[in-house]
Amino acid sequence: MIFVFKIIYLCQVNNQFIINYRIMKIYAGNLHYGMTEDELQKIFEEYGQVTSTKIITDKYSGRSKGFGFVEMPDDAEAQQAIEELNGKDVKGRNITVNQSIERKEGEQRGGNNRRENFRRNNNYRNNE
């Protein structure tokens, strides 16, 4: 037996449930550190419906890291927001806006992983 599943998203926007097969996730960078999720949502709502906003914060200090993500259910509205908001001055900063790229499972997020590089490059156990 073969089962085929389609991923659908059920989102609530303005007390209405929207069923969508794909929601565009948008990266917003170089944000003012004092910007709230509500302010970010209002900026993007000028271009269409916004299902969610998230500003990334430091887990220890709680301070904004200066970037966040916005999800919009309509690709055309999301694309228009990306084109018009990228480079726009918001709270004294030129924000960067583009489509978010989903990380693949197991993909590393940067850093130089010194311990693993040392083991791989020096082969220290075989040089005795």
**Rounded-to-integer distance, Cα 66 and Cα 87, Å:** 15
Question: Is residue 106 a part of any domain in this protein?
Answer: no
Q: Which amino acid is at 41?
A: Q
Domain-embedded: residue 36: yes
Taking 90 as the threshold, does the pLDDT of residue 68 lie above it?
Answer: yes
Residue 61 has what DSSP assignment? T
Q: Per the structure, how many domains does the chain have?
A: 1
Note the pLDDT of residue 4.
Answer: 40
Kindly state whether residue 109 falls inside one of the protein's structural domains.
no
Res 40: pLDDT:
97
pLDDT of residue 44: 98
Neighbours of 43 (CB within 10 A): 22
What gap in Å lies between CA 73 and CA 93, rounded to an integer? 27
Q: Does residue 77 form part of some domain?
A: yes
Q: Which domain CATH number covers 70?
A: 3.30.70.330
The tens digit of pLDDT for each residue in 103-117 reads 776 666 666 666 666
Question: DSSP string spanning 74-99?
Answer: -HHHHHHHHHHHTT-EETTEE-EEEE
pLDDT digits over 3-62, tens only? 444 445 555 555 665 555 578 999 999 999 999 999 999 999 999 999 999 999 999 999
In a domain, 2, yes or no: no
Return the closest-CA partner of residue 79 out of 47, 51, 31, 39: 47
The answer to whether position 65 is within a domain reads yes
pTM: 0.68
